[in-house]
Structure 1
Amino acid sequence: MILIATVDPIGTLAMFVGLTARCSARERVAIAVRAVGFGGLVLLAFIVLGQLLLQAIGVRLESFQLAGGLIFLLFGIQMVFGSGSTSGSAAPEPDHDLAIFPLAVPSIASPGSILAVVVLTDNHLYTIRQQMVTAALLLLVLAATLCGLLLSTPIFRVLGRSGASLLVRVLGLILSSLAVEMILEAGQTILSQMLDR
């Protein structure tokens, strides 16, 4: 359950809809496959090397979570105020791969999902078999996320341009709410750590 909540297929769909509103169906499929593929690779890498990497660079996951929340909030606000589906800003730029940023990272491989896979595969708490089960469950969640992104094309076809514009704004509001929750949670954790010192 924690993997579903942290990978957050609905939040990813919200961002995907806003960013690809002016893309063709073929472009949306390609972006969806690449986003889930790259996001999955990042999370699987953190399952294997996450604890060692974070300790080596000395970065707290709370910092990742706070930064990710701020980025999500900016995208959510942009979607709510209509720059997602009515302007050209949602179309992929020649030198910028939307599949990698912001879809793969920090949407699918978010600070929360990175934290989840690192915690759920702690070598001191879980056996190799339990860690393999966690990896398998992660793959199932990623498959569900990919299905949701691929279904965005028929959703666009049914809703039309006006319906899609409305959906983008509603999903932008949801994404903004999730972003605020991430920011508050990270801020609360950091504040608690400061007070404990």
Structure 2
Amino acid sequence: MLNNVFDPTLFATALTTILVIQDPLGAIPIFLSLTSRQTKAERTRSARQATLVSFAVILAFAIFGRYILRFLGITVPALQVSGGLLLLLVALELLTDRVDEHPDPDAVATNTALVPLGTPLLAGPGAIVATMVAVDSAPGPMIGWVSVTGAIVVTHIVTWAALRFSVGLHRLLGESAIQVLTRIFGLLLAAIAVQMIADGVLAYVDTLMTR
């Protein structure tokens, strides 16, 4: 019965992809910079609000993304290829350190939990596209929604924990360790992106041959 609504493989793939894209450890220095003038209580609240904003945005696209694609006349293979290209760009940013180019804290609005922490730092285009592709690649809508929603929940629990205890984690790991982990995440994401592009191209060719 559980297999009819939950796909462990899809859950693991979506969890890995979204977690790598959001890169909670890599977001720690940015989070600390943007909340440098906040008290401990305010920083805790910002971590919670940023996580909730990101969760709401990504979940909305996971549920309604299928209908958005249908309305725009976009096929799943086309979304896979374009999503793979986008994820590849995100991976290159992680590998080349350009992801650390963030606004100066003095120029950031008071409520940083909404922008840029919640979106686009956490709920960026890469995470949104990856979520939509994961749902649409499922055997059925219910399996896709349940499996991907589970992955989204776990991902944001990890993200919240990283932001909530960001000061201690940054002190424990150090800047160098966080940079190394970010590079590893970037490499994994690049591999996922290439696989996504290949699957999209093969699906598109298969569609043409069956016409």
Q: Deviations over 1:20-57 (max 9, x none)?
A: 642227355543321122111222234xxx3x554443
For 2:85, give the aligned amino acid.
Answer: L
- The answer (yes or no) to whether the contact 1:29–1:150 under 8 Å persists in 2 is yes
Q: Deviations over 1:64-114 (max 9, x none)?
A: 1111111111111111122234xx348799696464447434415523223
For 1:23, give the aligned amino acid.
Answer: F
When residues 12 and 152 of structure 1 are mapped into structure 2, their CA distance, relative to the original with a 3 A threshold, is: farther
Q: 1:149 & 1:91 partners in 2: Cα distance?
A: 22
Q: Match for 2:178 among 152, 156, 164?
A: 164
The residue correspondences of 1:53-68 to structure 2 (distance < 5 A) are: 53-68=68-83
- Alignment correspondent of 1:84: 99
Q: Do structure 1's residue 175 and structure 2's residue 189 form an aligned pair?
A: yes
The residue correspondences of 1:1-197 to structure 2 (distance < 5 A) are: 1-6=8-13, 8-17=14-23, 18=26, 21-24=29-32, 26=43, 29-46=48-65, 50=66, 53-85=68-100, 88-89=101-102, 97=116, 99-101=118-120, 103-104=122-123, 105-108=125-128, 110=130, 111-116=132-137, 119-121=139-141, 131=142, 135=145, 137-153=147-163, 154=165, 155-197=169-211
Deviation at 1:61, TM superposition (A): 1.2
Deviation at 1:194, TM superposition (A): 2.7
For 1:13, give the aligned amino acid.
Answer: L
**Which moved further from structure 2: 90-99 or 20-29?**
90-99
When residues 12 and 53 of structure 1 are mapped into structure 2, their CA distance, relative to the original with a 3 A threshold, is: closer
Q: How many residues end up aligned between the 2 structures? A: 179
Structure 1: which 5+ residue stretches go unaligned?
Answer: 122-130
CA RMSD of aligned residues (A): 3.2
Deviation at 1:161, TM superposition (A): 1.0
Deviation at 1:148, TM superposition (A): 1.5
- The answer (yes or no) to whether the contact 2:20–2:185 under 8 Å persists in 1 is yes
Q: 1:108 & 1:9 partners in 2: Cα distance?
A: 13
Q: 1:32 & 1:109 partners in 2: Cα distance?
A: 18
- The answer (yes or no) to whether the contact 2:21–2:90 under 8 Å persists in 1 is yes
Structure 2: which 5+ residue stretches go unaligned?
Answer: 1-7, 36-42, 110-114
Percent of aligned positions that are identical:
19
For 2:17, give the aligned amino acid.
Answer: G
Q: 2:104 & 2:206 partners in 1: Cα distance?
A: 41
Q: 2:91 & 2:79 partners in 1: Cα distance?
A: 18
Deviation at 1:186, TM superposition (A): 0.6
